[in-house]
Amino acid sequence: MSQTVARAIEIIGFVSRRPRSLGDIADHLGVHKSTALRILQTLEERGFVRRVPGDGSFGGGYGVGFQLIALGQMALDQVEARSLAHPILRELSERHGNTVHLGELVGDQIVYVDKVDGRGSVAMGSRIGLPAKTHTAAVAKVIAAYQDRADRAAILSRCDFTRYTPTTITDRDALEKDLDLTRSRGWAEDDGEHEDYINCVALPVFDARGKVTHGVSITALRAVAPLARLREQIADFRAAAHRISQNLGWRGDEYGHR
Amino acid sequence: MSQTVARAIEIIGFVSRRPRSLGDIADHLGVHKSTALRILQTLEERGFVRRVPGDGSFGGGYGVGFQLIALGQMALDQVEARSLAHPILRELSERHGNTVHLGELVGDQIVYVDKVDGRGSVAMGSRIGLPAKTHTAAVAKVIAAYQDRADRAAILSRCDFTRYTPTTITDRDALEKDLDLTRSRGWAEDDGEHEDYINCVALPVFDARGKVTHGVSITALRAVAPLARLREQIADFRAAAHRISQNLGWRGDEYGHR
DNA sequence: ATAAGTATTGCAACATATGCAACGGAGTGA
DNA sequence: TCACTCCGTTGCATATGTTGCAATACTTAT
């Protein structure tokens, strides 16, 4: 469509892997040096590329500029996960008849940002905008499980470990173990830990950086679908979560590997 | 230099604040809609912008694309703080005759990544590549002070609070207070906390996102320059730290405000 | 000195981006 | 139902802006 812009973008991609010289760039594009130069000058002026000082061993050249860092942050803020995920949540809910939630990590708590009721919806404590209980909700556990040590600690620090049912996890050590298990098997479970008669599974959603800032949970009445039944459908749930990840710009696989 | 590329970049900047419609974009550039469209198509094809679904209240349009997130990460990795900071460290060292360090936050510890010896250099425990003592080194304290709660906690968790001198801070509460003070006054001090006869001040360095991942420290023999003397020179030290911040892409002021 | 690698400029030729006008669709209000 | 306005899209003639060439200047290595 726009040749020059396409070339400019190609340059940015080329240069992002490692800094390159003008000649390399021109060769890579198959254009004359002067052509590459004038594009580079424009990009440099606006901070999209920068001249990398050649410090001894590594001859300098052009590298990615700082403006891209700032824009990347903007892009992250602008991602409206809810609107990108909603159609998939609806589809999931309709296919299996379950209630589906989308949870988001906000600061050090997990907040419900979307919810699609299933058939025969039951009154549930969850509500869009409300924080999830960190030690019982599967969405919360799956998100916490995929954070690094410091962030996981911050999330757990807000945990009150109130006992709701016999299966509720009521101490930090047990929860840490459950999170480790969650991460290694790739999904979280809630075995009637908040309400006796309700259980859930939840899967991680990866964003463009590979970070888990969202999670999808599938909720069922134990009487309708026991945990074993939900486990059988994990592959399908995971595929849906993966599609949401892809909508968020994630280009790796459904287990978080690039 | 290259009009089309300049327009493309202008579009990205415009769209990064909030999603815009084709018409808005064309008006902003002062060009015809079709012109804007063709640039947008190219940008969209390569993931630099994306169509934002218009969910009810907010009419959609074009927003920043995911490719920018990925490139932003690349750019961060490619920043070689050391080479950008080194000339400034040299200058600082030569002007004041002090030994100057550059510290970097790596994981949850602070590592010395550069060092310029001053006149009459004294044997010091620091060495490029070695981690700094979190509870005594001014660089470490200034970097820790500017992290958020969770990251600060992670850094402090690796602290052993060994006493080296009478002024060494030996418990967590006192260190937290010292970090709060550091942050509010804008620099950190080491009042002979590791070696009786040596003191330091350290200033934060901000990267393109506004995060403090580096710090600059100025070291002096107490006999040569007591803390009071170093404090008099803070303005100059701060200016140098600010220049490093600017080299790293930071566009705010020297106190971290954008 | 010579050579090969950088980056940069002026200029003529033409490929490419441009503006125009017209079209189709979605939404709004009369 | 209509008219109206906003959205994005397409074909086409024009001329603007980009291209490649050749020459220049600088650094570094042989």
CB contact under 8 A, B16 and A149: no
Chain B nearest CA to A85, separation (Å): 11
Å from A33 (CA) to C7 (C1')? 10
Which is higher by pLDDT, A72 or A203? Answer: A203
Query: What per-residue confidence (pLDDT) applies to A121?
Result: 59
CB contact under 8 A, A63 and B84: no
Å from B47 (CA) to D7 (C1')? 22
Query: What per-residue confidence (pLDDT) applies to A129?
Result: 64
* Mean pLDDT, chain B, whole residue set: 87
Q: What is the pLDDT of residues B11-55, one digit of tens each?
A: 999 998 888 999 999 999 999 999 999 999 999 989 899 887 654
Tell me if A22 sits within 8 A of A40, measured CB to CB: yes
Q: What is the mean pLDDT of residues B105-124?
A: 77
Could you tell me which of A173, A22, A83 has the C-alpha nearest to residue B55? A83
Å from A35 (CA) to C13 (C1')? 15
Q: What is the pLDDT of residues B59-74, one digit of tens each?
A: 568 988 888 888 887 7
Q: What is the pLDDT of residues A60-81, one digit of tens each?
A: 688 888 888 888 877 877 777 8
Query: What per-residue confidence (pLDDT) applies to A40?
Result: 92
Tell me if A220 sits within 8 A of A198, measured CB to CB: yes
Which is higher by pLDDT, A150 or A134? Answer: A134
Chain B nearest CA to A52, separation (Å): 9
Of A4, A12, A149, the CB nearest to B154: A149
CB contact under 8 A, B249 and A154: no
Q: How many CB atoms lie within 10 A of CB A33?
A: 14
Provide the pLDDT confidence category of residue A57 given band limits of 50, 70 and 90: very low
Nucleotide nearest to A33 (CA to C1'): D20
Query: What per-residue confidence (pLDDT) applies to A81?
Result: 80
Provide the pLDDT confidence category of residue A37 given band limits of 50, 70 and 90: very high
Q: Which residue is nearest to nucleotide C21 (CA to C1')?
A: B34
Task: Determine whether the distance from the CB of B170 to the nearest atom of strand D is below 7 Å.
Answer: no
Task: Determine whether the distance from the CB of B41 to the nearest atom of strand C is below 7 Å.
Answer: no
Q: What is the mean pLDDT of residues A50-56?
A: 65
H or E element in which residue A78 lies:
helix A67-78
Nucleotides of D under 7 A from a protein CB: 6-11, 17-22
Q: What is the pLDDT of residues A136-148, one digit of tens each?
A: 999 999 999 999 8
Task: Determine whether the distance from the CB of A61 to the nearest atom of strand C is below 7 Å.
Answer: yes
In terms of average pLDDT, the best of A1-5, A114-118, A138-142, B151-155 is A138-142
* Chain B residues in contact with A9 (beta carbon < 8 A): 42-43, 46, 48
CA contacts within 13 A on the Cβ side of B200 = 26
CB contact under 8 A, B84 and A2: no
Q: What is the pLDDT of residues B158-215, one digit of tens each?
A: 899 999 999 999 999 999 999 999 999 999 999 999 989 899 999 999 988 889 999 9
Strand pairing partners for B112?
B103
CB contact under 8 A, A53 and B83: yes
Is the predicted pLDDT of residue A53 greater than 70, yes or no?
Answer: no
Is the predicted pLDDT of residue B120 greater than 70, yes or no?
Answer: no
Nucleotides of C under 7 A from a protein CB: 5-10, 16-21
Portion of chain A with pLDDT greater than 70, in percent? 94
Q: What is the pLDDT of residues B235-258, one digit of tens each?
A: 999 999 999 999 888 888 989 888
CB contact under 8 A, A47 and B83: no
* Chain A interface mutation, best of B39, B41, B78, highest count of A Cβ atoms under 10 Å: B78
Å from B200 (CA) to D20 (C1')? 58
Give the number of A-B residue pairs with CB atoms closer than 8 Å: 169
Is the predicted pLDDT of residue A114 greater than 80, yes or no?
Answer: yes
* Chain A residues in contact with B36 (beta carbon < 8 A): none
Å from B57 (CA) to D4 (C1')? 22
- Which H, E and C letters describe chain B, residue by residue? CCHHHHHHHHHHHHHHHCCECHHHHHHHHCCCHHHHHHHHHHHHHCCCEEEECCCCCCCCEEEECHHHHHHHHHHHHHCCHHHHHHHHHHHHHHHHCCEEEEEEEECCEEEEEEEECCCCCCCCCCCCCCECCCCCCHHHHHHHHCCCHHHHHHHHCCCCCCCCCCCCCCCHHHHHHHHHHHHHHCCEEEECCCCCCEEEEEEEEECCCCCEEEEEEEEEECCCCCHHHHHHCHHHHHHHHHHHHHHCCCCCCCCCCC
* Chain B interface mutation, best of A7, A37, A51, A67, highest count of B Cβ atoms under 10 Å: A67
Å from A44 (CA) to C3 (C1')? 31
H or E element in which residue A140 lies:
helix A138-145
* Chain A residues in contact with B71 (beta carbon < 8 A): 12-13, 16, 64, 68, 72
Is the predicted pLDDT of residue B221 greater than 70, yes or no?
Answer: yes
Q: What is the mean pLDDT of residues A208-218?
A: 92
